[in-house]
């Protein structure tokens, strides 16, 4: 007997997708393998490491803790949508490059998504506040220092550019 499928419609980075998904397909797997948006990474599948963080209607969530079927009717943002259409990097991406905030790059997409949402909500964080906001994303390579520097710098750049 075939497993039941549900028709869903969702937008990811502004593009609308219509798919039929199995009940138990995790959103992380759906993004990566059904939509072939492999920039979102999977690190633990129990909600701790943060590598799979994406934005659901603008709010950062763990895509490994959501079923694809639950994303029906929602707007998702993933790392693939950060850079401009012309390829210009988003300030948080550029800052990570400028400050060497990534080494292996595996945790990076989750951090980028967490931080874009956070900096929108708190455009002028102190270092401590930033570290608090970052504490839900594990990195095993960088020791976080350069990520913190990158994000403080990105925040400043984004504030300066804001109308």
Partner 1 sequence: MTTRFFGAPVKRNEDRKLLTGQGLFIDDVELPDMLHAAFLRSHVAHARIRRIDVSKALKRPGVTAVYTAADLGAYWKPGPILVPPPPIEGSIFNERTQVPLAKDKVRHVGEPLAVVVADNRYIAEDALDDIVVDLEILPAVVDCEDALKTATHVHDDLGSNISAHVRQTKGDYRRAAANAHLILKRRFLYEHGISSPIETRGVVAQWNARGAQMTIWDTTQAPVFVRNGLAAMLGLGERQVRVIAPFVGGGFGPKIMMFYPEEVVLPWISMRLNRPVKWIEDRLEHFFATTHERGQIHDAEIALAADGRILGIKDVFLHDTGAYDPYGLTVPINSQCTLLGPYVVPDYDSTFTAVFTNLPIVTPYRGAGRQHGVFVMERLLDLAAHELKIDPAEIRRRNLIPPDAFPYKNEIIYQDFEPLEYDSGNYEPVLDKALEAIGYKQFIGEEQAKLRAQGRCVGIGVACYVEGTGIGPYEGAKVQVQSNGKVNVATGIGTQGQGHFTSFAQIVADELGVDVTDVDIVTGDTDQFYWGAGTFASRGAVVAGTAVSEASRAVRKKALKLASDAFECSEEDLVLADGKVSIAGIAQKFIRLGDLAERANPMRGAVAPGTEPGLESTQYFGPPMGATSNGVHAVIVEVDPQTFDLKILKYVVVHDCGTVINPMILAGQIHGGVAQGIGNAFYEKLSFDDQGQLLNASLADYLLPTALEVPRMELDHTVTPSPLNPLGIKGAGEAGAIPVGPLFAQAIEDALDLKRKEVELLEIPLSPSRLFELTRKARKK
Partner 2 sequence: MKPAPFRYIAASSLDHALALKAEHGDEARFLAGGQSLIPAMNFRLARPSVLIDINGLGELARVEAAEGGEIRVGALARYHSLERDSRFLTDCPLFADALPHIAHPQIRNRGTIGGNLSHADPASELPAIAVAMQARMRIKSAKGERQIAASEFFQGLLTTDIQVDEMLVEIAFPAQPARTGHCFLEVARRRGDFALAGVAASVTADALGRCSRVRLALCGVSETPVDASSAAASLIGQACTGEAVEAVAVEVQSMIAPSGNVHASPDYQRHIAGVLVQRAISAAHSRVGNAA
Q: Select from partner 1, partner 2, none the partner in contact with residue 62, using the beta carbon and a kind-dependent cut-off of 5 to 8 Å.
A: partner 2
Which range touches partner 2 (CB under 8 A), out of 62-70, 78-86, 90-98, 140-148? Answer: 62-70
Rounded Cα gap, residues 90 and 82, in angstroms: 6
Pure H helices in the chain: 27-29, 91-98, 108-121, 127-134, 145-161
CB of 143 to partner 2, least distance (A): 15
Q: Cα–Cα distance between 96 and 153 in angstroms, integer?
A: 9
- CA pair distance 155, 76, nearest whole angstrom: 23
Decide whether 94 or 144 has the Cβ nearer to partner 2. Answer: 144
CB of 118 to partner 2, least distance (A): 8
Stretch that binds partner 2, among 11-19, 21-29, 82-90, 93-101 (CB under 8 A): 21-29
The binder of partner 2 chosen from 11, 17, 39, 47 (CB under 8 A) = 47
Residue 45 engages partner 2 in binding (rule: CB under 8 A): yes
**In whole angstroms, what is the distance from residue 89 CA to residue 92 CA?**
8
DSSP designation for 113? H
CA 71 to mean position of chain CA atoms: 15
User: Residues in the site for partner 2, rule: CB under 8 A?
Assistant: 3-4, 6, 23-24, 26, 29, 45-47, 50, 53, 56, 59-62, 64-67, 69-70, 114, 118, 132-133, 135-136
């Amino acid at each position: 007997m075939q497993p039941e499928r549900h028709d869903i419609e969702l937008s990811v980075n502004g593009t609308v997708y219509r798919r039929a998904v199995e009940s138990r397909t995790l959103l992380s797997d759906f993004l990566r393998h059904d939509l072939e948006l492999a920039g979102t990474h999977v690190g633990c599948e129990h909600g701790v490491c943060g590598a799979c963080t994406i934005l659901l209607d603008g709010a950062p969530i763990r895509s490994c803790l959501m079923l694809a079927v639950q994303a029906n009717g929602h707007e998702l943002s993933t790392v693939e949508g950060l850079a401009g259409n012309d390829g210009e990097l988003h300030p948080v991406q550029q800052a990570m490059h400028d400050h060497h905030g990534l080494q292996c790059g595996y945790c990076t997409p989750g951090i980028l998504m967490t931080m874009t949402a956070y900096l929108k909500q708190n455009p002028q964080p102190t270092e401590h506040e930033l570290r608090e906001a970052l504490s839900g994303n594990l990195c095993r390579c960088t020791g976080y220092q350069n990520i913190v520097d990158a994000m403080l710098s990105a925040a400043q750049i984004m504030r300066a550019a804001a109308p």
